[in-house]
Amino acid sequence: MATFNKIPGSREALVESINCGSDQWAIALTNTAPTGTAFTAGTSDLATGGGYTQGGANVTTTSSTESAGTYRLILSDPPTWTASGANIGPFRYATLVDKTVNLQVGYWDYGSSITLLSANSDTFTVDLDNTNGVISLG
């Protein structure tokens, strides 16, 4: 499983300007390591094609709660991307995006570029932590 990396500056923006529990979250794919917090569909991620839609795949908020002084945002796994009609990628990073405010919060680095081949109907899913959440602030 890839490690989730927080984008510097996103934590402050996260707690000051958004509502984690009601905002729309997505996972977007890119081959460029995210360096800033701003997200622009089609620029910050892959272009639409082959079974991928720019802006990423929406995910559902399972829970947004605080317990014993620790806040956790738990999201359901996004849909599986399947290469069809054209390849998807290359991409190395899956970015967690708050689409309501176009904020990149963090990303998973898969270590090297991945291309999903249409000829093989290759698939890819980001495996989210359904126990500890994707965001944990304590």
pLDDT in tens, the chain (138 residues): 788 887 766 666 666 667 888 899 999 999 999 988 899 988 899 999 999 999 999 999 998 887 877 788 899 987 899 999 999 999 999 999 999 999 998 999 999 999 999 999 999 999 998 888 888 876
Q: Find the domain containing 91 and state its range.
A: 3-137
pTM for the full predicted model: 0.86
CA distance 105 to 72: 14
Quote the Cα angle for 22-131-110, to 5°.
Answer: 90
Element (H, E) at 17: helix 10-17
What pLDDT does residue 69 have?
74
Angle at 91 between CA 85 and CA 96, to 5 degrees: 110
Q: How many domains does the chain have?
A: 1
What is the DSSP secondary structure assignment for residue 50, as one 8-state letter?
A: T
Question: What does the pLDDT read at residue 135?
Answer: 82
What does the block give as tokens for 95? 């970015």
| Cα separation, 14 vs 20, whole angstroms | 8
pLDDT of residue 36: 85
Integer Cα distance of 45 and 40 in angstroms: 8
Would you say 99 and 55 are in contact if contact means Cβ atoms under 8 Å apart?
A: yes
